[in-house]
Chain A
Amino acid sequence: MTYVIGKECIDAKDRSCVDVCPVDCIYDGKRKNYINPAECIDCGECEVACPELAIFPLRRAKGNLEREQFAADNAAFFRESLPSRDQPLGDPGGASTAGPLGADTSFVQSFPS
């Protein structure tokens, strides 16, 4: 199980979630942050920290098309090659070591700014 960052984060990127994540698994995209589902320990600190109410647990995505899309998209951010990168990001084991990634998935890019 994991937490997911949804649409409300796009162009908001408050980053309170990054401050509270105990395992540093929230990665810094260009317009949005992404939770690495393989590194998330499901503690829920980020959900209450987010002022945009953008974060929800995966189990509350079921039956909600938009949330399901964002759940898949959070995973895709790490599994698929991002624009301007040859290799998928994978599980770097820490967002602060990975640094700002300066890229988004095509799904997030498609949202009007």
Chain B
Amino acid sequence: MPELLPQRDLVVVGAGPVGLFATYYAGFRGLDVALVDAQSGPGGQITALYPGKLIHDVPGFPAVTGADLVAGLVTQAEEYSPAVLYDTEVLGIHACGGVIEVTMSGDRVLRTGTVLLATGVGGIRPRPLPFGGEWYGRGLSYVVSDNEEHRGHNVVVVGGGDSALDWALQLRPVASSVTIVHRRRAFRAQRSLLERASREGIRILTEAEVVAISGNERVREITVLASDGSIEVMPAETVIGALGMRSSPTPLIAWGIEVDHRRAIVDSHMQTAVPGIFAAGDGATYPGKVALIVAGFGEAATAVNNVAVYLDPEAELMPGHSTDPELTPPDHAPRGGA
């Protein structure tokens, strides 16, 4: 039997900037909200792809790094103590009789009155190695969560960016050996990381490709093909794929939502063709749509205020102003914040 989580007024799918702001806003409107994201933390595209980049078009911030913007949005979102579920993938959304059922990884189900899709460009996941997928979880991984799991291993990291060097350096103290295999001659990683890697005895193979992974229960060895055609078989108990990230489209069509160029078509309430399912941000589209963070923030506020009216037709669409000290949050918010 799937685990049935407490029913909510609103489930926000996606903890990128738009989903985080929508979560704050839903709390401000007194809605009981859950925020769900497949990644292990907040920030979506920003955290996965450009946390250090300066963003110049967020009102009030002449320049703000992605990481700082996300940190501020998280603090704001937490004000009304939402339920937050990271590492949780939304597998299905079914609307039936005024209640929407959201099925999630981990065999969990959430019932809710409304859903807001803030799914952006889709799930952002590590790019899989071009082969050897069957070894995933048996020595092949894409993140290092616990160094101890790799103690005494011969570790092979595949890739040439900062994350490849970061994983390699992180595991060097516990591993028996660390080798980086990179397909090209030049590295994208910072020079300082490369210099540290060679100082710390990390073997670096360039213009080389892992062409086979073999073993029994677990990975035992890999085969590397060099550009001169030579082949080397080396022991490896851990293989880490560090080939960057790749987005995978949200299965909107499977959820019954009308799409245009893989984005959910919404009306001026930010509602999709499925009653009770709203969308905002890069994953939503309408005539004149501009895919910017700042437009997404406005869409989130529009969507959540319309969600409030959808749930309670007596409610005002206009929420009042957040500056009004008389505007007290409803009884159940903030919940459990102490």
A: which residues have CB within 8 A of B?
16, 19-20, 22-24, 38, 41, 43-45, 48-49, 51, 91, 93
* Whole-angstrom distance between the Cβ of A23 and the nearest chain B Cβ: 5
In chain B between 182 and 218, which residues have their CB closer than 8 angstroms to a CB of chain A? 183-184, 186, 188
Q: A41-B121, A43-B49, A44-B50 are in contact. Are A22 and B245 (CB under 8 A)?
A: yes
Establish whether residues B243 and A93, one from each chain, have CB atoms under 8 Å apart when the complex forms. no
**Tally of A-B Cβ pairs under 8 angstroms:** 41
- B124 interface residue (CB < 8 Å to A): yes
Q: A51-B184, A91-B261 are in contact. Are A43 and B50 (CB under 8 A)?
A: yes
- B244 interface residue (CB < 8 Å to A): yes
**CA of A17 to CA of B243, assembled, Å:** 12
**CA of A49 to CA of B246, assembled, Å:** 15
Establish whether residues B184 and A20, one from each chain, have CB atoms under 8 Å apart when the complex forms. no
* Whole-angstrom distance between the Cβ of A103 and the nearest chain B Cβ: 22
Establish whether residues B262 and A45, one from each chain, have CB atoms under 8 Å apart when the complex forms. no
Contacts of B188 in A (CB 8 A): 20, 48-49
* Whole-angstrom distance between the Cβ of B118 and the nearest chain A Cβ: 15
Q: A41-B121, A43-B50, A49-B188 are in contact. Are A20 and B261 (CB under 8 A)?
A: no
Contacts of A45 in B (CB 8 A): 49, 244
- B335 interface residue (CB < 8 Å to A): no
**CA of A52 to CA of B268, assembled, Å:** 45
- B45 interface residue (CB < 8 Å to A): yes
A-contact 0/1 string along B10-51, CB 8 Å cutoff: 000000000000000000000000000000000001001110
Establish whether residues B246 and A22, one from each chain, have CB atoms under 8 Å apart when the complex forms. yes
A-contact 0/1 string along B246-283, CB 8 Å cutoff: 11010000000000011000000000000000000010
Establish whether residues A93 and B262, one from each chain, have CB atoms under 8 Å apart when the complex forms. yes
Partner of B124, one of A20, A22, A49, A91: A22
B: which residues have CB within 8 A of A?
45, 48-50, 53, 121, 124, 127, 161, 183-184, 186, 188, 243-247, 249, 261-262, 282, 291
Establish whether residues B261 and A22, one from each chain, have CB atoms under 8 Å apart when the complex forms. no
| Chain B binding surface, main DSSP class | loop
Contacts of B50 in A (CB 8 A): 43-44
**CA of A20 to CA of B242, assembled, Å:** 11
Partner of B247, one of A22, A38, A44: A22
Establish whether residues B244 and A20, one from each chain, have CB atoms under 8 Å apart when the complex forms. yes
Report, nearest first, the 4 A-B pairs whose CB atoms are least far apart.
A43-B49, A22-B245, A20-B244, A23-B247
Closest B residue to A51 using CB positions: B186
Closest B residue to A48 using CB positions: B188
Contacts of A16 in B (CB 8 A): 184
Establish whether residues B261 and A23, one from each chain, have CB atoms under 8 Å apart when the complex forms. no
* Whole-angstrom distance between the Cβ of A35 and the nearest chain B Cβ: 15
* Whole-angstrom distance between the Cβ of A33 and the nearest chain B Cβ: 16
**CA of A45 to CA of B127, assembled, Å:** 14
* Whole-angstrom distance between the Cβ of B54 and the nearest chain A Cβ: 11
Contacts of A91 in B (CB 8 A): 261
Establish whether residues B186 and A93, one from each chain, have CB atoms under 8 Å apart when the complex forms. no
* Whole-angstrom distance between the Cβ of B185 and the nearest chain A Cβ: 8
Closest B residue to A41 using CB positions: B121
* Whole-angstrom distance between the Cβ of B125 and the nearest chain A Cβ: 9
Contacts of B282 in A (CB 8 A): 41
Contacts of B246 in A (CB 8 A): 22, 24
Contacts of B184 in A (CB 8 A): 16, 51
**CA of A19 to CA of B130, assembled, Å:** 11
Q: A44-B50, A51-B184, A91-B261 are in contact. Are A19 and B243 (CB under 8 A)?
A: yes
Establish whether residues B186 and A22, one from each chain, have CB atoms under 8 Å apart when the complex forms. no
Q: A43-B49, A51-B186 are in contact. Are A22 and B262 (CB under 8 A)?
A: no
Establish whether residues A93 and B45, one from each chain, have CB atoms under 8 Å apart when the complex forms. no
Could you give 20 example pairs across A and B, Cβ below 8 Å? Answer: A19-B183, A20-B161, A20-B188, A20-B244, A22-B48, A22-B49, A22-B121, A22-B124, A22-B246, A23-B121, A23-B247, A24-B246, A24-B247, A41-B121, A41-B282, A44-B53, A48-B188, A49-B188, A93-B261, A93-B262
**CA of A20 to CA of B124, assembled, Å:** 13
* Whole-angstrom distance between the Cβ of B174 and the nearest chain A Cβ: 29
Establish whether residues B244 and A19, one from each chain, have CB atoms under 8 Å apart when the complex forms. yes
